[in-house]
Amino acid sequence: MVLVFTVIISDPNLRKMCYAVVKQDPSICDQTGGNGGVLPPFDVKDLCYEKVAVVKRDSSLCDKIQNQNHKDWCYRDVDEARK
C-alpha cells in the first residue's frame, strides 16, 4: 500500500524549495527568493541550499549560502548526515 500526501504550500518560494529538496536539484534554489514570501528572499535561498546539501550530503553546496550562521549549520548538518 502506498500513501500519497499532498501538502498545499501557499508561499511560492517555499514551494520551490521543497521541490528542490525532493528533486535534489540545487539549481532550483536559484529560482527562490522572489518577493511575496513569508521569509526574506535570501533566507529562503540559504535554507534551500542547506536542505539540498544535507539530502545530497554535499558540503560544497554550503559555500553558496550567504548567512554565515546558516553556512556553519549547513556544514554541521552535512557532516551529521554522512555518519
Give the SS3 label for residue 34.
coil
User: What's the predicted TM-score (pTM) here?
Assistant: 0.80
Taking only the tens place, the pLDDT of each residue in 48-57 is: 999 999 999 9
Residue 2 in domain: no
Packing angle, helices 41-56 and 68-82, rounded to 10: 20
- Listed residue (75, 82, 71, 10) closest to 45, CA to CA: 71
Residue 21 in domain: yes
Name the domain count of the chain: 1
Residue 23 in domain: yes
Tell me the three cell numbers of residue 6. 499532498
Predicted pLDDT of residue 37:
63
- 83 Cβ partners below 8 Å, 6+ apart? none
Q: Can you tell me the distance from the alpha carbon of 37 to that of 2, in angstroms, rounded to the nearest whole number?
A: 32
Residue 7 in domain: no
Domain of residue 72: give its range.
Answer: 12-31+38-82
Taking only the tens place, the pLDDT of each residue in 17-26 is: 888 988 999 9
